[in-house]
Homo-oligomer: A and B are copies of this chain.
Amino acid sequence: MDQDNLIAIPFVFEQPCPIRDVLDRIGDQWSLLILQVLEHGTMRFSAINRAIGDISKQMLSKTLKSLEEDGFIRRTLYPEVPPRVEYELTDLGRSFLVPMKELIAWADEHHRAICEARASYLANAK
Protein backbone atom coordinates (compact mmCIF):
# COMPACT_ATOMS: atom_id res chain seq x y z
CA MET A 1 0.00 0.00 0.00
CA ASP A 2 1.49 3.28 -1.03
CA GLN A 3 0.50 5.85 1.48
CA ASP A 4 2.85 8.39 0.04
CA ASN A 5 0.33 9.84 -2.32
CA LEU A 6 -2.19 10.51 0.39
CA ILE A 7 -0.17 13.01 2.36
CA ALA A 8 -1.88 16.34 2.61
CA ILE A 9 -0.44 19.46 4.12
CA PRO A 10 -3.08 21.43 5.98
CA PHE A 11 -2.30 25.08 5.59
CA VAL A 12 1.08 25.56 4.03
CA PHE A 13 -0.34 26.18 0.59
CA GLU A 14 -2.84 28.83 1.43
CA GLN A 15 -2.07 32.25 0.12
CA PRO A 16 -0.47 34.15 1.63
CA CYS A 17 1.12 31.91 4.21
CA PRO A 18 1.33 33.98 7.41
CA ILE A 19 4.36 32.27 8.84
CA ARG A 20 6.32 32.65 5.63
CA ASP A 21 5.34 36.27 5.59
CA VAL A 22 6.72 36.71 9.09
CA LEU A 23 9.80 34.56 8.57
CA ASP A 24 10.71 36.43 5.43
CA ARG A 25 10.79 39.55 7.53
CA ILE A 26 12.65 38.47 10.64
CA GLY A 27 14.64 35.78 8.90
CA ASP A 28 16.79 38.35 7.20
CA GLN A 29 20.14 39.50 8.42
CA TRP A 30 19.14 42.38 10.63
CA SER A 31 15.45 42.65 11.51
CA LEU A 32 15.52 40.55 14.63
CA LEU A 33 18.68 42.23 15.81
CA ILE A 34 17.08 45.66 15.42
CA LEU A 35 13.94 44.59 17.25
CA GLN A 36 16.03 43.33 20.12
CA VAL A 37 18.02 46.53 20.25
CA LEU A 38 14.85 48.61 20.26
CA GLU A 39 13.47 46.58 23.13
CA HIS A 40 15.61 48.79 25.36
CA GLY A 41 13.60 51.82 24.41
CA THR A 42 13.34 54.56 21.83
CA MET A 43 16.50 55.11 19.86
CA ARG A 44 17.80 57.38 17.12
CA PHE A 45 19.04 56.16 13.78
CA SER A 46 22.70 56.54 14.59
CA ALA A 47 22.26 55.06 18.05
CA ILE A 48 20.89 51.88 16.49
CA ASN A 49 23.70 51.99 14.00
CA ARG A 50 26.28 52.15 16.75
CA ALA A 51 24.53 49.50 18.84
CA ILE A 52 24.65 46.98 16.03
CA GLY A 53 28.05 48.07 14.89
CA ASP A 54 28.62 46.29 11.64
CA ILE A 55 25.45 47.18 9.77
CA SER A 56 25.69 49.55 6.85
CA LYS A 57 23.61 52.70 6.78
CA GLN A 58 21.85 51.39 3.73
CA MET A 59 20.80 48.09 5.26
CA LEU A 60 19.77 49.79 8.49
CA SER A 61 17.63 52.25 6.58
CA LYS A 62 16.10 49.54 4.45
CA THR A 63 15.39 47.21 7.34
CA LEU A 64 13.92 49.96 9.50
CA LYS A 65 11.62 50.86 6.64
CA SER A 66 10.48 47.28 6.28
CA LEU A 67 9.85 46.95 9.97
CA GLU A 68 7.94 50.21 9.99
CA GLU A 69 5.94 49.15 6.97
CA ASP A 70 4.90 45.97 8.74
CA GLY A 71 3.94 47.84 11.87
CA PHE A 72 6.66 46.41 14.12
CA ILE A 73 8.24 49.77 14.84
CA ARG A 74 7.18 53.41 14.80
CA ARG A 75 9.25 56.15 13.22
CA THR A 76 9.04 59.70 14.51
CA LEU A 77 10.67 62.55 12.66
CA TYR A 78 11.43 65.73 14.57
CA PRO A 79 11.74 68.51 11.99
CA GLU A 80 14.75 70.13 13.55
CA VAL A 81 18.06 71.09 12.07
CA PRO A 82 19.85 68.79 11.96
CA PRO A 83 16.98 66.32 11.72
CA ARG A 84 16.33 63.86 14.50
CA VAL A 85 14.53 60.58 13.92
CA GLU A 86 13.52 58.19 16.64
CA TYR A 87 12.44 54.61 16.41
CA GLU A 88 10.50 52.58 18.94
CA LEU A 89 8.68 49.28 19.13
CA THR A 90 4.94 49.26 18.57
CA ASP A 91 2.63 47.01 20.55
CA LEU A 92 2.71 44.63 17.62
CA GLY A 93 6.50 44.56 17.70
CA ARG A 94 6.57 43.97 21.42
CA SER A 95 4.00 41.20 21.21
CA PHE A 96 6.05 39.56 18.50
CA LEU A 97 9.04 39.37 20.79
CA VAL A 98 7.11 37.20 23.25
CA PRO A 99 6.99 34.01 21.14
CA MET A 100 10.27 35.00 19.56
CA LYS A 101 11.98 34.91 22.92
CA GLU A 102 10.86 31.34 23.39
CA LEU A 103 12.52 30.46 20.15
CA ILE A 104 15.64 32.30 21.22
CA ALA A 105 15.62 30.38 24.49
CA TRP A 106 15.29 27.14 22.57
CA ALA A 107 18.19 28.13 20.37
CA ASP A 108 20.35 28.92 23.37
CA GLU A 109 19.42 25.67 25.03
CA HIS A 110 19.96 23.43 22.02
CA HIS A 111 22.77 25.17 20.24
CA ARG A 112 25.28 22.78 21.69
CA ALA A 113 23.24 19.80 20.49
CA ILE A 114 23.12 21.25 16.99
CA CYS A 115 26.86 21.81 16.94
CA GLU A 116 27.44 18.28 18.14
CA ALA A 117 25.12 16.94 15.48
CA ARG A 118 27.13 18.81 12.87
CA ALA A 119 30.39 17.48 14.18
CA SER A 120 29.10 13.93 14.28
CA TYR A 121 27.68 14.31 10.76
CA LEU A 122 31.04 15.46 9.51
CA ALA A 123 32.77 12.59 11.27
CA ASN A 124 30.43 10.03 9.72
CA ALA A 125 30.77 11.57 6.29
CA LYS A 126 34.42 10.64 6.13
Give the interface of A toward B (CB within 8 A).
Answer: 3-10, 12-13, 16, 18-19, 21-23, 26-28, 32-33, 36-37, 39-40, 43-44, 46-47, 50-54, 68-71, 92, 95-96, 98-100, 102-108, 110-111, 113-114, 116-118, 120-121
Contact of A117 among B19, B92, B106 (CB under 8 A): B92
A–B pairs, 26, beta carbons within 8 Å: A5-B50, A6-B36, A6-B40, A7-B50, A9-B37, A9-B51, A10-B53, A12-B36, A12-B52, A12-B54, A18-B104, A18-B107, A19-B107, A19-B108, A22-B106, A22-B111, A23-B26, A23-B32, A68-B121, A71-B114, A71-B117, A71-B118, A92-B117, A96-B106, A99-B99, A103-B103
Neighbour of A114 across the interface among B3, B22, B32, CB < 8 A: B22
